[in-house]
Amino acid sequence: MEKIVSLCKRRGFIFPGSEIYGGMANSWDYGPLGVELKNNIKQAWWKKFVQERGDMVGLDAALVMNPKVWEASGHLKNFTDPLFECPECHGRFRLDKLLPSVNNVKIESTVNKHDSEKEYYINQKDLIDQKLIKEIIRCPDCQKVFPDKMKFRFFNLLFKTFIGPAEESANVAYFRPETAQAMFVDFRQVLETSRKRIPFGIAQIGKAFRNEITPGNFIFRTREFEQMEIEYFIKENDWEKSFEYWLGEMYDWMNFLGLKKDHLHDLEVPEKERAHYSKRTIDIEYDFPFGKDELYGLAYRTNFDLKNHSTSSGVDLVYTDPESGEKYIPHVIEPTFGVDRSVLAVLTEAYCEEEAPTTKEGETETRVVLKIPKHIAPIKVAILPLSKKEELSNVAKEIHKEVSRNFFAEYDETQSIGKRYRRQDEIGTPYCVTIDFDSLEDKKVTVRDRDTMEQERIEISELVNYLKNKF
Ligand code: ATP
């Protein structure tokens, strides 16, 4: 992970946010290359899941919605994580991360007399007796043993804000914790304006906010992140078939990102661990550098959301089948994809260190190369004149202009050619085009392949076509 984080910072993919002010914990900014990679992923996703299909439409809704949305969706009440605070060092932890088998654990509760709020606790000795833990748990930060009776509370992850100048309860609003709800709230308008029939889906890409208790692992878990989500509306009886279909589509997508099947694992989420709205959930986990963890999720949300929004808003969200006249509230299959976790998985999969020959005969060095799939690489082609001499750079700039009309291409004439290749390898540029003095005579350039390092002489007039065939 350290190597990836350091490469990202050094080469301008991702760096700590607000760094000149000492940074801000777990905030990351996508730099010039990061934004290209991230946009390429988002665009490819949009193309595959929206534009290339006849049964999907897009949406781009507001980040801050009417707070009633979160009441109806259950987020105000249920979108919580169990928070445990170390009595010694006051470090805060998610109880379910301290106790992986927390779902089998008996949670007891009492009502706190002062504020009539429920207090929750678990009994560690009982857990040892039940063989759910081997020994009393210690604080991961200060190493002190936790009390036998561990008190915790449920912490709501919604990101609160105030609308307008007065910070009073009437003006409380929330940044959306998922993009999904807008697809339900706008269901009626989308249906009427797009004239789609069930089955059909609504897709959205956008920011989501969660007041995570323990953010970390670089861009894996942050409080501000991006999601690509689909709500696919179906008839209830079709849910199992549709669920399987979407699982397949998600694997297709992960294959497109270059993620190896061996590094991906389906986790059938047991009922007790599922979100409040879900009747079946599969978490697709990826072997991240810090361990196996959730990359994407697939959930059968039943018709929980549309039903609740219909009741709460008083607006009828019943669908009428135009042919049979049958009326029902559609059910939903939701494939959800984290953008930032996609970027992290792509970088993890692509990062390679290999021994490669240097320009000196018989010598080798370690080459760091990001083998990002060509179609999502931030820069597709680098144009590298061998020297800064005007006669070469004039030709090289012309070539750059021509190539740039078709591909995102970078022009670089500084440093030795070896160093320039190394930089392009590290940022995952699939092709380097070198212009040398022979190019002036034979009107050919050398194209170097990032992965094989093989070089080919290509006619300048044929270069764009040659590259088009490669992508
Ligand atoms: P986790 O169990 O890791 O907290 P979750 O199950 O709460 O995740 P979902 O509600 O299913 O996550 O969110 C959908 C997707 O959004 C996840 O699969 C993940 O890719 C992404 N995601 C969720 N939370 C975060 C976060 N804090 N930072 C970055 N991406 C996130």
**Sequence-ordered alpha helix ranges (H) in 25-153:** 32-46, 68-72, 75-78, 95-98, 124-129
Angle at 12 between CA 10 and CA 15, to 5 degrees: 85
Q: What is the DSSP string of 439-470?
A: HHHH-EEEEEETTT--EEEEEGGGHHHHHHHH
Position in ligand 1 atom list of the atom nearest CA 210: 27
Say whether the peptide bond before residue 147 is cis (omega within 30 degrees of 0): no
Instruction: Determine the distance separating the centroid of ligand 1 and the alpha carbon of 445, expressed in angstroms.
Output: 46
Look at ligand 1, atom 20, and give the residue with the nearest C-alpha: 338
pLDDT (0 to 100) of residue 282: 98
> Containing H/E element for 394?
helix 390-404
pLDDT of amino acid 9: 96
In the prediction, which pLDDT does 468 show?
A: 97
Q: What is the DSSP string of 207-223?
A: EEE---SS-BTTTTB-S
Q: Is the CB of 210 under 6 A from ligand 1?
A: yes
* Residues of the chain above pLDDT 90, percent: 78
Identify the pLDDT of residue 292. 96
Q: How far is the CA of 338 from the centre of ligand 1 (A)?
A: 7
Q: Is residue 297 lining ligand 1, measured as CB closer than 6 Å?
A: yes
Take residue 281 and report the two structure tokens written for it: 């959930």
Residue nearest to atom 25 of ligand 1 (CA): 221
- Does the C-beta of 301 come closer than 6 Å to ligand 1? no
Closest to 267 measured CA to CA, from 300, 245, 294: 294
Q: What six digits make up the tokens of 408?
A: 């995102």
SS3 content of the chain, % helix, strand, coil (to 5): 35, 30, 35
With CA atoms as reference, report the closest residue to 303 among 281, 331, 325.
331
Which pLDDT belongs to residue 105?
A: 66
Single-letter residue type at 426? E
Q: Write the CA distances from 384 to 149, 228, 446, 465, integer angstroms.
A: 66, 36, 10, 19
Q: Read out DSSP for 104-122?
A: GSPPEEEE-TTT--EEEEE
Report, in angstroms and rounded to the nearest whole number, the Rg of the chain calculated over CA atoms: 27
The answer to whether 341 touches 222, Cβ cutoff 8 Å, is: no
Sequence-ordered list of residues with C-beta below 8 angstroms from that of 208, at least 6 positions apart, any chain: 175, 176, 177, 178, 179, 224, 225, 226, 227
Ligand 1 binding pocket mutation candidate from 28, 155, 217, 225 (most atoms within 8 A of CB): 225
Q: Cβ(204)–Cβ(186) under 8 Å? A: no
User: Looking at ligand 1, which residue's alpha carbon is closest to its atom 22?
Assistant: 338
Residue 151 pLDDT: 86
In whole angstroms, give the CA distance from residue 175 to residue 197. Answer: 31
Widest Cα–Cα separation across the chain:
90
Ligand 1 near 439 CB (within 6 A): no
Atom of ligand 1 at shortest range from CA of 223: 27
**Token digits of residue 40:** 């390429």
Burial 355-390 (b: 16+ CB within 10 A, else e): eeeeeeeeeeeebbbbbbbbebbbbbbbbbbbeeee
Q: Which residues of the chain have pLDDT under 50?
A: 115
Q: Determine the 3-state secondary structure of 30 from DSSP.
A: strand
The set of residues, in sequence order, having a beta carbon less than 8 Å from that of 262 and lying 6+ positions away, is none
d(CA 281, CA 293): 15
DSSP state of 64: B
Question: Strand, coil or helix: what is 340?
Answer: helix
Q: What is the whole-number distance in angstroms between the Cα of residue 68 and the centre of ligand 1?
A: 23
Ligand 1 center to 152 CA (angstroms): 22
Rounded to 5 degrees, what are φ and ψ at 68? Answer: -65, -25
* Mean pLDDT taken over the chain: 93
| Predicted pLDDT of residue 111 | 59
- CA dist., res. 399 & res. 387, Å (int): 15
User: Which ligand 1 atom is at minimum distance from the Cα of 221?
Assistant: 28
Instruction: Give the pLDDT confidence of 185-244 residue by residue, as tens digits.
Output: 999 999 999 989 999 999 999 999 999 988 999 999 999 999 999 999 999 999 999 999
Buried b (16+ CB within 10 A) or exposed e, 69-87: bbebbebbeebebbbbbbe
What b/e sequence results for 437-455 when a residue is b if at least 16 CB atoms lie within 10 Å of its CB, and e otherwise? eebeeeebbbbbebeeeee
Nearest CA to ligand 1 atom 21: 338
338 Cβ closer than 6 Å to some ligand 1 atom: yes
Please tell me the predicted confidence (pLDDT) of residue 89: 93
Q: Whose CA is nearest to atom 10 of ligand 1?
A: 178
Q: What is the pLDDT at residue 135? A: 86
What separation in Å is there between the alpha carbon of 265 and the centre of ligand 1? 16
